A and B are shown apart, each in its own frame.
Chain A
Amino acid sequence: MRVTKPRIVPPGAPRNELGMTRRDYEGGMSTLCAGCGHDSVTAAIVQACFELSLPPQSVAKLSGIGCSSKTTAYFVAGAHGFNGVHGRMPAIAAGASAANRKLRYIGVSGDGDSLSIGLGQLGHAIRRNMNMLYMLENNGVYGLTKGQFSASADMGSRSKKGEKNQNEPIDPVLLALSLGATFVARSFSGDKEQLVPLIKAGLTHRGFGLIDVLSPCVTFNDHEGSTKSYAYVREHQQAAIAADYVEPRREITVSYAEGEAVSVEMHDGSNVLLRKLDRDYDPTDRAKALAYVQERVQRNEYVTGMIYLGEGRSHFHDRHNTPDEPLNSIPYEKLCPGSAGLAGILSGFR
């Protein structure tokens, strides 16, 4: 059953450049458990799209299967959505992006969808530097099938039933860094201030943007012994890099101490200001980023923020040399060589 949210706009609600309110970027009512971290992520996506003044129809929402994948129904109702098969959202995104490079693709996935059944597809989406923002709502547990460990569950963490996880976790951030991702971030669903600018930056990035969002499962993974509970994450997250997103037409007014801030220009002229909380951190150096995150993992710390940003690398469409005009709208006359062309082609087969 789907519950449609009433679109009542409170008088005086802020409007964006399109004259739209935040409400206009909402979707159906969530059917996730009350307090689910995923709903906070949804709210952050709504906020980011609102602030960027995206026309809703310019967005396409894609997901696989699982609790996280349901969330594409809960934001930007005016965008087409596609809830595919388990772990295969990147393939759909590849084809969709191939057909129409003008839409902004937001993929929402979970740790089961991305790191177990869909690990291969995630890896290849990163390799291709596909033009999309990929939100990985990471809670270390299988919610819809009631509490099995996922591939991101930490060694030694305990399930609700008391079982101990015996396998090494797959860290999507380390994975993405090693596969050549051009935009890698991590955040926490409860930290909207950090998350919203990251999403905005990710939506502006040309290429594949991964945001790993620790998003506690209130039902199956929010107990003592879990390393993905609200309490644990709050205590162990360590923001290395704070990101602020500055739109192209706004002046960068925030000032940072010399040597502590990096401004990275996105393709459309907007800027991501990265404020270094750790003096040694360089978010534009892949090897250092990898080493830093690894070192922190050893200390049971989640590094959050804009972990790596490499603008200017060729992306999916660059590599295929596709035209600026979406393939789905090229006139048929330009696609068919016609009977005149056929005669020439056939002469090579006699």
Chain B
Amino acid sequence: MPERDLTQERLNDFVVKFANVNGTGSASANSLIMKSIFRMGVPVVGKNFFPSNIQGLPTWYEIRVTREGWRARSGRVDLMVAMNAETYARDIAEVAPGGWLLYDSTWPRPSLLSREDVTVLGVPLAQLCGDHFEGARARILMKNVMYAGVLAALLDLDLEIVRELLGESFARKPALADSNMKAIRIGYDYAREHFDCPLPIRIAPMDETRGHVMMDGNTAAALGCVYAGATVGAWYPITPSTSLMDAFRAFCARHRVDPETGRNNYMVIQAEDELAAIGAVIGASWNGARAFTPTSGPGVSLMNEFIGLAYYAEIPAVLFDVQRVGPSTGMPTRTQQCDLLTCAYASHGDTRHVLLFPADPGECFDFAVQAFDLAERLQTPVFVLLDLDIGMNDWMTKDPQWDDDYRPDRGKVITAEMLEGMQRFHRYLDVDGDGIPWRTIPGVGEKGAYFTRGSGHNQLGAYTEDPAEYQLVVDRLRRKFDAAARLVPAAVTEGSGRAELGIVSFGSCDGAVREALAALRRTGVAVDYLRIRAFPFGEEVEEFLRGHEAIFVVEQNRDAQLRALLTLETAVEKRKLRSILHYNGLPMSADCVVDAVVAALAQGEAA
């Protein structure tokens, strides 16, 4: 994209990036700034680029202020808050021409931090902290808060909102709120005194965040589990899914403790490994509880055997795979959409699984609830595929909505009363002709007892090695899966539907794709967009593929897994599908899509 002119005032449209040292308490300062902007009614995007480390390594946080409400990274940096001397060189190199760099000038670095087209702003933060605060720990923490104060002046943040946020954070420790505010004030005053405040990039209040929250997808998914009525969660901690269970526990501590008895109306089992975690989920679901496990790629690899059991023995299970960069241990704190194929066909033998692809935290909430309904309706594992970008970054997302008339769809469960009127119960018989058999929950009564097994079984539930009996059951399983295409969330389309070019994408690519569509439209290129929200694919996916001559498949992995799945599972001609791939571990930006489409058009490849 052409460089924009930075000399023009850029209200509510710029990027601030923070370069910090992991474990120094910078996260709360950065989030204070982002929340202040959000509360001023201005849309923001926050992205955290952190190392797989607890303390000492470089870490970055990026806040994109976007008056138009874009949801992806922009890919450029206008103001770098360089708080890590170790990364000064690369940090200054990243600033866009005409931009700014703020650093701690207690230790001046004039030669390293110099670029003709970048304005360097030095604030002696450490020295100011030393002058105003006691104790080593306070001085380190206050340095972060103080640069937040500097930014408040540079960006014209509302100090009252900053004070309000600090008051909420330290509601139980008002003294801390006061000392934080003091640090803010020192930074703020220093900036006003020494720089021309505010900068051309600045915040002006808007009213575009009402009805929205800043929430990460793991939290939203956990909230969905609470609302779906999940009572058993089993997990083995793994980045980047850990915060999902942390959030579930926190919500449960508030909302699931019986006020009369003080007992917990939930159980979280920290398993010894992922094999045990999914085993516990299967045991609990078999026994009639709504149960789930959050994990990431390496966990899914370990769970494969059990997933096949749940598929074949037809036991509901809900898995949240918060994808991170693979293969193997990969880059645990970086994002990718690399588990699509492994989840679609997880486990040995003929297996296939229902997958849901939320594009933002709002959908994480909705799809979490739907995942339990689908898992019980279809009696099969359901995967919700998040990724680190959705799961761990704070997204501005529409308020999740709740319908108080909602009741869980427990699927075909035979109750004790129903059992009384029955001659006999057979677990795997397709009595309704829809491929979904009836099940009983243990304890319901002798007549409902059956033997659950992963070994060959016939439709009556008995062990079998008979070819015809075996095939009857697996053929029904296939029919059941195909029927799922009509139950899962349908793909959404955007555009006239008459363009020759199409883009197909899913999950966290959505923000970048939408922004790219607008950019392409501005240059006169019309593209229709299909965002797939689930597997198996519905008829609307086939239609879109049929209706477009050239289709770009945008996804975040090296091997074009969505494209592969489309070619395997739809009638689309392979040659129609071109890949736009982004897989370096960072959240994608619109440029990547725009550039690829423009380049293809230029070469006459696409249209």
Contacts and interface: CB of A to CB of B under 8 A. Distances in A.
A337 B226 contact: yes
Contact of A332 (B39, B229, B450, B451): B229
B445 interface: yes
Given A80-B449, A342-B402, A88 B288 contact: no
A337 B400 CA distance: 13
Contact of B232 (A95, A332, A345): A95
B404 A338 contact: yes
B193 to A, nearest CB: 33
Contacts of A262: none
A88 B275 contact: yes
Q: Which of A79, A91, A328 has the most CB of B within 10 A?
A: A91
Contacts of B227: 336-337, 342
A250 to B, nearest CB: 27
A102 B267 contact: no
B20 interface: no
A336 B265 CA distance: 11
Contacts of A95: 232, 234, 269, 279-287, 289, 291
B213 A350 contact: yes
A320 interface: yes
Interface in A78-98: 78-85, 88, 90-98
A120 B271 CA distance: 11
A109 to B, nearest CB: 14
B213 A349 contact: yes
B399 interface: yes
Interface in A184-201: none
B255 interface: yes
Contacts of A124: 271-272, 276
Contacts of B231: 98-99, 327-328, 330, 335
A81 B452 contact: yes
Contact of A327 (B212, B232, B455): B232
Contacts of B465: 1
A255 interface: no
B264 A1 contact: no
A120 B269 contact: no
Residue among B231, B305, B404 with most chain A CB within 10 A = B231
Contact of B213 (A80, A327, A338, A346): A346
Contacts of B449: 56-57, 77-81
Nearest to B461: A2
Contacts of A100: 287-289, 442-443
B215 interface: yes
Nearest to A89: B279
B279 A84 contact: yes
A178 interface: no
Interface residues of A, number: 58
Contact of B269 (A82, A98, A324, A328): A98
A332 B408 contact: yes
Contacts of A337: 226-227, 255
Contacts of A346: 213, 399-400
A340 B443 CA distance: 35
Could you say which of B213, B284, B288 has the most chain A C-beta atoms within 10 Å of its C-beta? Answer: B284
Interface in A299-350: 320-324, 327-330, 332, 334-339, 341-342, 345-346, 349-350
A121 B272 contact: yes
A231 to B, nearest CB: 33
A167 interface: no
B286 A85 contact: no
A201 to B, nearest CB: 23
B306 interface: yes
B496 interface: no
Given A100-B443, A321-B263, A81 B451 contact: yes
B261 interface: yes
Contacts of A341: 255
Contacts of A329: 288
A94 B265 contact: no
A53 to B, nearest CB: 14
Majority secondary structure of chain A interface residues (helix, strand, loop or mixed): helix
Contact of B276 (A62, A80, A94): A94
A177 interface: no
A135 interface: no
A96 B232 CA distance: 10
A77 B288 CA distance: 20
A99 B284 contact: yes
Nearest to B410: A332
A60 interface: yes
A96 B288 CA distance: 9
Interface in B441-468: 441-446, 448-455, 462-465
Contact of B275 (A72, A91, A322, A334): A91
Contact of B267 (A84, A120, A327, A335): A327
A1 B273 CA distance: 35
A342 B31 CA distance: 23
A335 B287 CA distance: 17
Interface string A98-117: 11101100000000000000
A270 B223 CA distance: 44
B39 A350 contact: yes
A57 B284 contact: no
Interface of A: 1-2, 56-58, 60, 62, 72-73, 77-85, 88, 90-100, 102-103, 120-121, 123-124, 320-324, 327-330, 332, 334-339, 341-342, 345-346, 349-350
Question: 3 tightest A-B contacts by CB?
Answer: A91-B279, A95-B283, A78-B446
23 contacts: A1-B463, A77-B449, A80-B448, A80-B452, A83-B453, A94-B283, A95-B286, A96-B284, A96-B286, A98-B232, A99-B231, A99-B288, A100-B442, A123-B272, A320-B264, A322-B264, A327-B231, A327-B266, A328-B289, A335-B229, A337-B226, A342-B402, A349-B215
Given A88-B279, A91-B277, 8 more contacts: A57-B442, A60-B443, A82-B283, A93-B283, A99-B289, A327-B232, A330-B231, A335-B231
